[in-house]
Amino acid sequence: MDIEVKQKALLELKKVVFQCKACDLAATCTNKVFSDGNPGAKIMLIGEAPGAEEDASGIPFVGRAGKLLTQLLTDAGIDRQNDLYIVNTVKCRPPNNRVPTDFEKKCCSDYLSAQINIVKPKVIVLCGATALKSFSKGEYTISQIRGQWIDLFDGIKAMAIFHPSFLLRKHSLDEGSPRDLTHKDLLRIKRFIEKD
């Protein structure tokens, strides 16, 4: 599917998402947060849910955690706008930044599946525990599985990484620290997509 076809399909999907009232989050959010980045990218990053700044702007990962994510990507040679397509497990902010419920994730799951099917990335990065549990059904924790290739999607490689909000509390850059491991995971993803 060429980029123009992808953009048109995503625009149509976005219109549907913006009309969605399947769960109570639609009534409490300011903006639905559909995506950011390049729909032609080889990497799709799936986060948890919009936070306060994302809800205000309508763009995923723009708060403190988003700024750290952008820096981590840059340090690994991944351009956020060109090399990545970013989405969340849910499109609306849960009140008080709580973790989205299984029901809320289920209400958005068809939209997320459609985004994956339209973008057809080579790699899906599951950013944090909520994104990982949404696809692995809680079989793994981030600490157990991060940095390893997992097959959760039909023909698409996936890797889980620590969520940047967790890394905001872990400042060490020492060898083996969560930030160091995340940097290495992103470098591994970068090398993988460059193999083509």
- Res. 154: pLDDT tops 90: no
Q: What is the pLDDT of residues 96-116, one digit of tens each?
A: 999 999 999 999 999 999 999
> In this predicted structure, what is the pLDDT of residue 136?
83
Q: What is the pLDDT of residues 21-73, one digit of tens each?
A: 999 999 999 999 999 999 999 999 999 999 999 999 999 999 999 999 999 99
Classify strands 84-88 and 36-37 as parallel, antiparallel or unpaired.
antiparallel
- Res. 117: pLDDT tops 70: yes
Cα dihedral value 135, 140, 144, 147, nearest 10:
-10
Cα–Cα distance for residue pair 54/44, rounded to 1 Å? 18
Q: Is residue 145 part of a domain?
A: yes
Q: Is residue 166 part of a domain?
A: no
Specify the range with the lowest mean pLDDT, choosing from 6-20, 136-150, 164-178: 136-150
Q: Is residue 182 part of a domain?
A: no
What's the whole-number mean pLDDT along residues 185-192? 97
Q: What's the predicted TM-score (pTM) here?
A: 0.95
> In this predicted structure, what is the pLDDT of residue 196?
65
Q: Is residue 179 part of a domain?
A: no
Share of the chain above pLDDT 70, in %: 99
Q: Is residue 13 part of a domain?
A: yes
Owning domain of residue 11: 3-63+77-160
- Res. 151: pLDDT tops 80: yes
Whether the CB-CB separation of 171 and 165 falls below 8 Å is answered with: no
How many domains does the structure of the chain reveal? Answer: 1
Q: Residue 42 belongs to what H/E stretch?
A: none
CATH number at residue 24: 3.40.470.10
Cα–Cα distance for residue pair 169/96, rounded to 1 Å? 19
Q: Is residue 139 part of a domain?
A: yes
Cα–Cα distance for residue pair 140/19, rounded to 1 Å? 34
**CA torsion through residues 84, 176, 188, 132, sign:** negative
Residue 157 forms beta bridges with which residues? 123
